[in-house]
Structure 1
Amino acid sequence: MYYYVVDPPQGVPAAKIAQRLQELITPMGISGEIGVANPARSAEELAYMGIDKGYSTIIAVGGEELINTIATIILNESREKIALGIIPCNAGSLIPQMVGVANNDLRAATEIIRQRHLDLVDMVQITPKQYMLTEAYIASPRILKVTLDIDQRTKVELEADFAHLSNDLVLTLETRRPQDGWKKTLSFLGVSKPTDNLLSRFHGKQIRMMAHVPLPILIANQVVAKTPTTFTKIPGALKLITARAILPQRSISDVSVRSAVQSEAEAIHE
């Protein structure tokens, strides 16, 4: 029933995690097959193997990149039949709060899996084959004109050099200076102008984003797509095992995150 894919971030010993995991899940009655990613067999291959073998629950044991990867595979293969469980290892702050367990707490995470409370959570489709469970960033080393088409009804043009996308399809753009019509556009959309920095937020069921040059879209600091693309909200897309936790809102005012992504964007554009 349970298929565990172990692929923690660099620096976390995968073999020790797999051994400890086996010690925990056997007496809990949630034992299953454990696959540890390695240079010869990637986490993606392991996830597909679990699906091909008919497992109804895939457990991602690792960080944000792994969890988004496996969630995407589940949606592409069979979203109705397979549930996702998560044991977060150095997975940032969003995923532990979504699941309801602290990072690297294997005992508490396996207990949540044993209780098997299933929630239907939203995801965002970024490309026909790429989905997002957590959040994404879009960054440019310089300010560019960005065009948004919201629900095929409203078009917005503004300048930005950074954007944050949440899994409930709230797109937040950061701009350093207003352009003509900026206040009028935001007023029409019911968006208030922040007092510091020029932040504008947009939400809808579908948002198409375009810029004069392709911009990288990053999840867990990995490029998964580039603009232009259309973001589509998929309500209740994924069956996720949780402890009834609530996914918190994140602000792009997080300087450390913004700086890291901005550096990544500069490296990509060099």
Structure 2
Amino acid sequence: MYYYINEQPKNRAVAKTQEYIRDLLGLTGISGEVVTVSPARTTEELVEMGLSKKHNTIVAIGSDRHINKVATFLINRKCVLGIIPINSSPLIHQLIGASEIKEAVDILKFRKLKEINMGLIEPNKYFLTQAEIQSNKSFETTVTVIEADFDSYQVNTTATEMIISKNNYLFINDKYKGPNVLKKSWAWLTGKHLPDIESSVLRGKKIKIETSVQMPVIMDGEIVAKTPIVTTLQLKVLKIITKPVRIEEEKKKG
């Protein structure tokens, strides 16, 4: 039986959407225990309750922030995450392969599992979507990218926006300068240096971001850290339910 965790509704419209989802789950034949986050019952407490009752699937119903919180508490646990987005970003819809609520419910029924990566802002801020550093003014930043144990390089540039994806891609943009010219130097033991390159996307096993002034790091609209930060790629730490191939094929035929 599935265990559903509703986000605490922010308004009547969200509460009505939750009621609609509950009815839809019953009609689809995948109803289960439904609980709702409240000041008296936190997300973590509700997840632990579900695990203690031996549920093997916990479904997060709500926004990116709520989904990310539930996911964080299921990392490396013997439990699958299902997702029904409400007012969520396109990244969440893309992750599960659903464009609207009914489709997300149908996906749960078929239970197609996929192991996914997550991003981590050390020491303990995991994310399913992305983290952002943004400013109205350009700021100087130094980025150290570690690709392997003895293979790293540093980038010095300016930025107004830095976006870190869950797969540890770092997108850098300075809206006042156009394409970034990143000064890239390899930190080999030999001290080897490479010429400047034009780029705006970096990726590594681990990335350290330092800024000339301390900047807030925002995840799902919430400040979760301040620079300097270190981000790492967490490989296949979570199982989620995604769209089966046959549903996609039937959708194309229809």
The one-letter code of the counterpart of 1:110 is V
Q: CA deviation at 1:96?
A: 1.0
* 1:89, distance to aligned residue in structure 2 (A): 0.8
Alignment TM-score, normalising by the size of structure 1: 0.76
2:96: which partner in 1? Answer: 99
Structure 1: which 5+ residue stretches go unaligned? 194-199, 246-270
More strand by share: 2
In 1: Cα distance, 2:218 partner to 2:27 partner: 39
**1:71 corresponds to 2:71:** yes
Query: Which residue number corresponds to residue 229 of structure 1?
Result: 229
TM-score (norm 2): 0.80
**Deviations along 1:65-119, whole A, 9 cap, x unmatched?**
11111111112xxx2411110001110211112111123x2x3222111100001
State the partner residue of 1:143: 138
Quick check: 1:87–1:110 contact (8 Å CA) kept in 2?
Answer: yes
Q: Which runs of 5+ in 2 are unaligned?
A: 186-192, 246-254
Percent identity, please: 33
Where is the helix percentage greater, Structure 1 or Structure 2?
Answer: 1
Match for residue 78 of structure 2 among 76, 81, 91: 81
Going from structure 1 to structure 2, the CA distance change for 1:54 and 1:225 (only over 3 Å counts) comes to farther
Q: Structure 1: how far apart are the matches of 2:82 and 2:195?
A: 38
Distance 2:154 2:220 in 1: 29
Partner of 1:162: 161
RMSD across aligned C-alpha pairs, in angstroms? 2.7
**Larger Rg: 1 or 2?**
2
Q: Which residue in the other structure is 1:131 paired with?
A: 126
Aligned residue pairs: how many?
232
Superposition deviation, residue 182 in structure 1: 4.2
Deviation of 1:44 (Å):
3.6
* Structure 1 residues 223 and 189: alpha-carbon distance in aligned structure 2, compared to 1, 3 A threshold: farther
Is the CA contact 1:127–1:225 (under 8 Å) kept in the aligned structure 2? Answer: no
**Secondary structure at 1:21 match in 2:** helix
Letter paired with 1:161: T
Q: Is the 8 A contact 2:181 2:198 kept in 1?
A: no
